[in-house]
Structure 1
Amino acid sequence: MLKSIYRRLVAAAAVVSGLLLVYMGLATALGVFARYVLRTPSRFLFESTEMAIAICVFLVLAYTALKGRHVRVEVIPDRFAKTNLALDKWSDRVTALLSFVFAAFVFTQFYNDLASGIRIGSTTGLPRWVPMLTFFIGLVLYGIFQLRWVKPEIETDIEASVAENQTEADKS
């Protein structure tokens, strides 16, 4: 049940990220039209696309890991597959811990930005607490993934080489 909820949260974050990607394309085209045809550049369109790209990246972080489409670097040769698998599990847990610690700092920054924005009343630019909140959400979702409560949807190279070595050893 928790895995299903997690997958739905990650999918919802990916959909929002995709919608922001469409928005960025439309806002950029509209900004160029306004600047060169209407001779009235829009500061809002420019700033909102900058913020949208950050939010898009933060929200799609866990989705790319879940689909196994993130960048992985294998530094230990395949013949040490069991050692590599142990190191991989250890590094996943360290990454999850760092993700949660960083998320705590980001949440503190989000809370401070939100509190000061409400007190002062932001009249210039877009609120800074929005990307902080999405960064917090992205870090938490990624940290949960790194704990391997939810398996990636594709098998990693390490897991495949361990399984291959075990089948070869069984045949011998």
Structure 2
Amino acid sequence: MKYYFNKTSKTLQVLLDKVDNTLSKIESILLGLGVILMALNTIINVIGRFVFNHSFFFSAELNRILIILITFAGIGYAARKGRHIRMSAIYDALPKKFKKVFMIFICLITSFVMFSLFYFSLDYINKLIISGRILPSLQIPVYVTYIWVPIGFFITAIQYFLTVIKNIIEKDDVYLSTEVIDEYHDVDV
């Protein structure tokens, strides 16, 4: 029985790592491209405005789309790196065994909330599609601007759920994310 559990645990760990790595690559590409495109758009618009006395009419709309992309791709990235703001006074006072249970509970609830927000954001996107609204400058549907919201919530929900699985599989350490072990570091003053 122990052999079967160890083999299943290792198989689950490999699957967990593959899903996590795939999500990491997608997020990195989205974040990198978003920041680069926003910087280029802003620089080109500034040059156009001050050198040629003509700014691009679509620049603000494009940057708004990119800010939404960066924000909602970034929440999954922050979850993977264990970088979300935490109120941890009670958590920090717990023994390690209870920290693990508490972390599983926190990540499970957070995953549920993110899946719920994913669902509600899909409903909102559907309403935008039905409305038929378009952006005035770019002449593209408004829902394209917000399509990154459900994607970000979904990736974040998956990331927190993977953290739950990681904490169940790994018996020794408490994980804040699939990559980050909860450790306390003394800072020398």
The bucket for the TM-score relative to the shorter chain is: 0.7 to 0.9
Q: Distance in 2 between the 1:38 and 1:104 partners?
A: 46
Number of paired residues? 156
Instruction: Report deviation, 1:123.
Output: 6.0
**Fraction of identical pairs, as percent:** 23
Q: What SS does the corresponding residue of 1:71 show, helix, strand or coil?
A: coil
2:37 aligned residue = 23
Q: Distance in 1 between the 2:39 and 2:148 partners?
A: 20
Residue deviations 1:121-161, cap 9 Å, x none? x3614532124221111111111121224552121238x9x
2:66 aligned residue = 52
Instruction: Report deviation, 1:43.
Output: 2.5
1:97 aligned residue = 112
Q: What SS does the corresponding residue of 1:139 show, helix, strand or coil?
A: helix
Q: What SS does the corresponding residue of 1:43 show, helix, strand or coil?
A: coil
2:136 aligned residue = 124
Does the CA-based 8 Å contact 1:47-1:125 persist in structure 2? yes
Candidates 123, 137, 141, aligned match of 1:108:
123
1:74 aligned residue = 88
Q: 1:77 to 1:53 in 2, by over 3 A?
A: closer
Aligned residues: CA RMSD: 2.5
1:155 aligned residue = 181
2:54 aligned residue = 40
Q: What SS does the corresponding residue of 2:72 show, helix, strand or coil?
A: helix
Q: Which amino acid in structure 2 is aligned with residue 88 of structure 1?
A: M
Q: Distance in 2 between the 1:95 and 1:33 partners?
A: 44
Q: Which amino acid in structure 2 is aligned with residue 152 of structure 1?
A: T
- Structure scoring higher RCO (CA < 8 A, sep ≥ 6) equals 1
Q: Distance in 2 between the 1:116 and 1:29 partners?
A: 33
Q: 1:37 to 1:139 in 2, by over 3 A?
A: same
Q: TM-score, normalised by structure 1?
A: 0.77
More helix, by proportion: 1
Structure 2: give runs of 5+ residues left out of the alignment: 1-13, 167-176
Does the CA-based 8 Å contact 1:27-1:49 persist in structure 2? yes
Q: TM-score, normalised by structure 2?
A: 0.71
Instruction: Report deviation, 1:77.
Output: 6.3
Instruction: Report deviation, 1:22.
Output: 0.7
Q: Distance in 2 between the 1:79 and 1:16 partners?
A: 38
Does the CA-based 8 Å contact 1:17-1:55 persist in structure 2? yes
Instruction: Report deviation, 1:116.
Output: 3.1
Instruction: Report deviation, 1:89.
Output: 2.1
Q: What SS does the corresponding residue of 2:157 show, helix, strand or coil?
A: helix
